């Protein structure tokens, strides 16, 4: 066994590997870029080595710097995590040639599976079900259109070296096939240095289900059940769970056996994942093999009780797998939500900056530790309150994982955990995750990879999320306001006869995004400051609320009519400085709590329309302006490409929303843009 390993990665996966290494008694070495000098993984490791500037191409992607760091510190092995160099066959070979151990599959296995075209041919040879398609290199848009017609629309155009949703387009006609081919080649060249693409049949209403495999150097290969990864946005996974609520036991077994056959065909020695697309009839087809640890590996760890990182390290050290296929467990249900730094109400664009507040829910499960009886909550993260979310890397803040005895309990536990997850300073997708979990289709297990685009086709607004009892949020706003008023009446120095008073009758005015106001007559009765309780009556409904949470705390916990709750409440909102923002189960309201007379007067106030920005192209996110495609005086048509912004390793193309003429270019290529910064002005 090794005594010291280097982790060639950053963020939550670096922290995850360090925890297992510490459990095994191994010393760890972290590497970091200039942007990560104060990152959590640097603090957790026993040693750390600075490897260059913030851009990953100058630091985390430079193999020489990683290998030099390992040699300098005396590390005997390198764990690549995922992303960066984890599926780079040249890096794995270099590590081996330098006398170090790559904690992952052998370079020949990475090469075989890393090339999507070659892997399809290998899968066919191993008698693994494959999707109809064209698996040779395509040279031109014209050839792409011809091939797409032969296969039959819709088709999927994919980069051969792609992954993580990059270099992937779905085409439903000739125009989309031609444009998608060009976009895929450009994006693949930028992201992977390889612009080869292939085309395959797009399976409609597909499920994305993957099989976790594990092999050693002695020919032993097992599968560790499946993960359901169909809840995706732009081909990137949002929620993962294990097991799948869809497939049968027979399908599970058949998929597992085919995954093992493919792993054996390439002499696979480590943890890996074989991804399948599954149709409504449960017919399944090989999609690709990821020759690394997956982001969603914790759900497999929860249901099997295995530490996948430890098994990777032991296999790399030459040990045999300590169990056989018949020993693999499937216990309970696990769900993982990816908590990302993105703004769902701005079409999920990246959000970077400082984590002003970061308070995850109480953790009862730990990575690299036995799962407690009854399951619990686990948070894998690489951030901390006050830290930065830089624009150079991916958008992940944390992974929130829950385990319970069945799916319904796991969903309930996850919803409560999301209610208690506080992130401020940047935008996050926590509210969107809550909305997904609350959707009847998700609860019933009735979804496919198009679920998000179907049900959130017009984007996401937290004010529009259906809620079991939206009046509960109104009652909470009134309760918090009443607590604040109680404190005001106790402040010394008030003039006799003119001090603050409390009245039971109030009005809660919900401020809708479209400018409409919803007025609710509220009565707060039986308020008891010592017991931190009150009865809030709305439309003859009584909400008995008890909450000892201090004023000013964002996370508010307590009970309502005897049932526990967690919600997030803040005074002062984007719509009004005296407003109260309340969030629970994905729904968010902004409200004013007023005396009835003040609420009546508010009805007379005109709605202030937002400023007209129609004559400007504004940056929808912070990022790097990599291209401006138009010039002053140029006429453009709706849908025409105007500019490209790069943020968190993704290119975002900005297009014209209507016909017009460019008056002025206000930002330059290479400029770092802020949110809503003007890029173009139109005549």
Q: What is the Cα gyration radius of the chain? A: 27
Count of CB atoms situated within 10 Å of the CB of 71: 13
- Spatial contact of 360 and 397, defined as CB atoms under 8 Å apart: no
Q: What three-state secondary structure class fits 569?
A: strand
- Spatial contact of 272 and 188, defined as CB atoms under 8 Å apart: no
User: Is 288 known to be catalytic?
Assistant: yes
From residue 154, alpha-carbon distances to 148, 170, 241, 464, 639 in Å are 8, 7, 28, 32, 21
Q: What is the dihedral of CA 160, 161, 164, 170, to 10 degrees?
A: -20
Reading the block at residue 553, the tokens are 């705390």
Q: Exactly one of 176, 210, 288, 570 is catalytic; which is it?
A: 288
* Distance (Å, whole) CA 370 – CA 378: 12
In DSSP terms, 7 is beta-bridged to 30, 79
What strands lie across the sheet with 197-201, from one edge to the other? Answer: 133-134, 197-201, 155-163, 166-171
DSSP H helical ranges for 115-248: 116-125, 141-151, 174-192
Whether the upstream peptide bond of residue 301 has omega within 30° of 0, thus cis, is: no
* Distance (Å, whole) CA 185 – CA 191: 10
Residues sharing a CB contact under 8 Å with residue 279, sequence separation 6 or more, in sequence order: 203, 205, 206, 207
Give the largest CA-CA distance in the chain. Answer: 90
Nearest to 566 by CA among 580, 581, 585: 585
Catalogue the E-assigned strands of 410-470.
422-424
Reading the block at residue 111, the tokens are 């090469």
DSSP H helical ranges for 4-138: 11-23, 40-44, 63-73, 89-97, 107-114, 116-125
* Distance (Å, whole) CA 636 – CA 335: 46
Count of CB atoms situated within 10 Å of the CB of 163: 20
- Spatial contact of 303 and 329, defined as CB atoms under 8 Å apart: yes
In DSSP terms, 672 is beta-bridged to 624
Residues sharing a CB contact under 8 Å with residue 462, sequence separation 6 or more, in sequence order: 344, 345, 431, 435, 583, 586, 587, 588
- Spatial contact of 12 and 86, defined as CB atoms under 8 Å apart: no
Count of CB atoms situated within 10 Å of the CB of 247: 20
Reading the block at residue 683, the tokens are 């005549």
Catalytic residues: 288
């Amino acid at each position: 066994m090794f005594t010291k390993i280097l982790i060639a990665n950053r963020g939550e996966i670096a922290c995850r590997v360090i925890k297992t290494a510490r459990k095994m008694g191994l010393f760890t070495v972290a590497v970091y870029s200039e942007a990560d000098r104060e990152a959590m993984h640097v603090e957790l490791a026993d040693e750390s080595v600075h490897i260059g500037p913030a851009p990953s191409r100058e630091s985390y992607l430079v193999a020489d710097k990683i290998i030099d760091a390992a040699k300098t510190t005396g590390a005997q092995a390198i764990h690549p995590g995922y992303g960066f160099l984890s599926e780079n066959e040249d890096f794995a070979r270099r590590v081996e040639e330098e006398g170090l151990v790559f904690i992952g599959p052998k370079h020949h296995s990475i090469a075989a599976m890393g090339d999507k075209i070659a892997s399809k041919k290998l899968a066919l040879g191993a008698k693994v079900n494959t999707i109809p398609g064209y698996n040779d290199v395509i040279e031109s848009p014209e050839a792409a259109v011809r091939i797409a017609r032969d296969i039959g629309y819709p088709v999927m155009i994919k980069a051969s070296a792609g992954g993580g949703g990059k270099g992937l387009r779905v085409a439903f006609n000739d125009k989309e096939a031609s444009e998608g081919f060009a976009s895929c080649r450009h994006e693949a060249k930028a992201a992977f240095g390889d612009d080869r693409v292939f085309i395959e049949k797009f399976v409609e209403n597909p499920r994305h289900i993957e099989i976790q495999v594990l092999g050693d150097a002695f020919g032993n290969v097992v599968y560790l059940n499946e993960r359901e990864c169909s809840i995706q946005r732009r081909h990137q996974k949002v929620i993962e769970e294990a097991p799948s609520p869809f497939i049968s036991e027979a399908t599970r077994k058949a998929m597992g056996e085919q995954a093992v056959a493919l792993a054996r065909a390439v002499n696979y020695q480590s943890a890996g994942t074989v991804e399948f697309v599954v149709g409504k009839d449960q017919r399944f087809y090989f999609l690709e093999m990821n020759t690394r640890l997956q982001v969603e590996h914790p759900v497999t760890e929860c249901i099997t009780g295995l530490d996948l990182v430890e098994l990777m390290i032991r296999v790399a050290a030459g040990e045999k797998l300590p169990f056989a296929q018949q020993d693999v467990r499937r216990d309970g249900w696990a769900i993982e939500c990816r908590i990302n730094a993105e703004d769902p109400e701005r079409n999920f664009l990246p959000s970077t900056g400082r984590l002003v507040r970061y308070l995850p829910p109480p953790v009862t499960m730990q990575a690299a530790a036995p799962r407690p009886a009854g399951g619990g909550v686990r948070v894998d993260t690489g951030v901390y309150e006050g830290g930065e979310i830089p624009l150079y890397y991916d958008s992940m803040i944390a992974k929130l994982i829950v385990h319970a005895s069945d799916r319904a309990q796991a969903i309930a536990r996850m919803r409560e955990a999301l209610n208690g997850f506080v992130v401020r300073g940047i935008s996050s997708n926590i509210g969107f995750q809550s909305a997904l979990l609350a959707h009847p289709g998700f609860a019933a297990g009735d979804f496919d990879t198009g679920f998000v685009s179907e049900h959130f086709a017009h984007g996401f607004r937290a004010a529009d999320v259906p809620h079991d009892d939206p009046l509960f949020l109104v009652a909470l706003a009134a309760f918090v306001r009443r607590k604040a008023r109680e404190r005001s009446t106790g402040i010394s120095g008030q003039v006799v006869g003119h001090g603050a008073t409390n009245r039971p009758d109030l009005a809660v005015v919900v401020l809708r995004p479209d400018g409409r106001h919803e007025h609710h007559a509220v009565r707060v009765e039986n308020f008891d400051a010592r017991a931190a309780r009150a009865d809030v009556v709305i439309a003859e409904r009584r909400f008995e609320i008890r909450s000892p949470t201090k004023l000013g705390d964002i996370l508010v916990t307590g009970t309502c009519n005897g049932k526990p709750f967690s919600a997030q409440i803040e005074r002062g909102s984007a719509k009004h400085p005296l407003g109260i923002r309340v969030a629970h189960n994905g729904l968010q309201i902004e409200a004013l709590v007023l005396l009835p007379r003040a609420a009546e007067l508010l009805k007379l106030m005109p709605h202030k329309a937002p400023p007209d920005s129609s004559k400007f192209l504004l940056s929808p996110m912070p990022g790097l302006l990599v291209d401006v495609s138009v010039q002053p005086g140029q006429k453009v048509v709706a849908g025409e490409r105007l500019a490209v912004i790069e943020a968190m390793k993704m290119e975002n193309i900005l297009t014209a929303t209507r016909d017009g003429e460019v008056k002025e270019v206000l930002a330059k290529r290479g400029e770092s843009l802020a949110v809503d910064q003007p890029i173009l002005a139109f005549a």
